[in-house]
Structure 1
Amino acid sequence: MMAHKGQISEWYPDKGYGFITPVHGGNKVRFTEQALKRRKMRPKRAMPVRFSISKDALGHAQAANIEPLSGISFDVFFAIIFITALGGATFHYRYPIEVVYWLLAVNLLMSLVVALDVCAWRNAKPQTSGAALLFIAVFGGWILPVLSAPFSPLPTRSLLFRAGQWGVMFVHFAVLIYSLSGEGREQMQLIVDSGRWFLSHYLPGFGQ
């Protein structure tokens, strides 16, 4: 079920219902207390939330599985930890700077893809498939999209996609930790040297 982002625009505690305004500025969606994912949640006006769309008994759209979007999400927190660890490894353990350049380039590419998806979404056109996004993420292109997700108007991807993204994130963090070991450093240096050879071989003058 597709998740959406919005803001509680109306809430009537005495009546037990309210309305959510989607971030894209569409029609308000009605919700009831039963739709709150966390029973202890106290709805307030202007509260940012994530929700899905369902149908009531009369076939009208209503919000379901409502949860707050306040605070730093796990994804964002993990991305910050990864960047901090990579920065520390680069400055204190002489981690290959080429890895940083590679991650920067791939994340800029992914950010361009996301920007195009925003334009496509606003014009009701098809967006990049989840499989394609995960393919780019495998090569390191998940950092900037994760950090910008809280500010993006795009609907949240499916749970399957998010699980795949979490898997990629954990694998990359494990690889980073392993590459700081003696054996890991040697293998990482071999990969970097192979990349340098490839570029110098097919791009004459590279590195000179």
Structure 2
Amino acid sequence: MKGQIVEWFDAKGYGFIEMPYSEQKVFVHISALKNRNRRPKIGDEVTFEVLEDNRGRFNAHNVARVGGSPMSTSMLFSTIYLFAVIIATMLFNGEKWIILAYAFMSLVTYFMYAIDKSAAKEGRWRTSENTLHLLALFGGWPGALCAQTEFNHKSKKQPFKTILWITVIVNIAVFAWTFTPQGHAAIGELVRGIISFLR
């Protein structure tokens, strides 16, 4: 259903949504928002679901702003970087498979974050943080940054966030190194070794 935020207490992280043609107000907590790139404000139009808690109160869940929200800085950075990878690979005769590797690893990492977020909510077995960092290090960090924004998962946790950005820097440095003569030769040896192993 649709409604509008008519009260918002930013310091406390909650407010109330009013539905059209009704004076009934539904409680909404900041944690119920799907995307928290921008803090809610009075007048925001939203879509939401209503669930009743164990005290008989109606709360808004899966709240999303109508019309979406601006792309987050991390998602914008990921998008620009992936375009830069494509352009650099084409212009400087880089390894074309690296483009596919970034796309594949980003998708895998994105879904691993989604699975871990779901597991956290339901109390199931969690994906280890080391696994998420390794996926990011091997090219999945664009997917990790997008997933953090989309699911609001591990986006503020320390030292996880710091380690993630270290993997981003290391991965970018290694990608740049592949354009050097030494890096190009090493990548060639790696590919030949993998092909030989698969045979």
Q: Same fold (TM over 0.5)?
A: yes
Whether 1:158 and 2:157 are equivalent positions in the alignment is yes
CA contact (8 A) 1:9 1:19 kept: yes
Aligned residue number for residue 167 of structure 1: 166
Pair 123,93 (structure 1): closer, same or farther in 2 beyond 3 Å = same
Structure 1 match to 2:188: 193
User: In 2, Cα distance between the equivalents of 1:203 and 1:157?
Assistant: 41
Gaps spanning 5+ residues in structure 2: where? Answer: 18-26, 31-38, 47-68
Alignment TM-score, normalising by the size of structure 2:
0.61
1:11 equivalent in alignment to 2:10: no
Q: Is the 8 A contact 1:103 1:140 kept in 2?
A: yes
Alignment of 1:70-85 (within 5 A): 71-85=70-84
Residues 126 and 45 of structure 1: is their aligned pair in 2 closer, same or farther, counting only changes over 3 Å? farther
1:202 and 2:194 equivalent?
A: no
TM-score, with structure 1 as normaliser: 0.59
Using the aligned pairs only, state the percent identity.
Answer: 17
TM superposition shift of 1:47:
8.2
Q: Once superposed, which parts of structure 1, at least 4 consecutive aligned residues long, lie more than 6 Å away?
A: none
CA distance in 2, matches of 1:29, 1:112: 26
Q: Hey, what's the Cα distance between the residues in 2 that align with 1:17 and 1:167?
A: 31
- For 1:84 and 1:133, the matched residues in 2 are separated by 23
Query: Does 1:138 pair with 2:132?
Result: no
Instruction: For residue 130 of structure 1, report the CA deviation from its aligned partner.
Output: 2.3
Per-residue CA shift, 1:16-49, capped at 9, x if unaligned? Answer: 995379xxxxx8449xxxxxxxxxx88325489x
Distance 1:114 1:179 in 2: 28
Unaligned stretches of 5+ in structure 1? Answer: 1-7, 22-26, 31-40, 49-69
- Rounded to whole Å, the distance in 1 between the matches of 2:125 and 2:150 is 21
- 1: CA distance between counterparts of 2:96 and 2:78? 19
What is the match of residue 36 of structure 2? none
| DSSP-derived class of the 1:11 partner | strand
What RMSD, in angstroms, separates the aligned Cα atoms of the two structures?
Answer: 3.6
Contact 2:105 2:143 in 1 (8 A): no
Structure with higher RCO (Cα < 8 A, 6+ apart) = 1
Deviation at 1:148, TM superposition (A): 3.7
Moved more, 191-200 or 90-99: 191-200
Say which SS state the counterpart of residue 124 (structure 2) adopts.
Answer: coil
Q: How many residues align?
A: 157
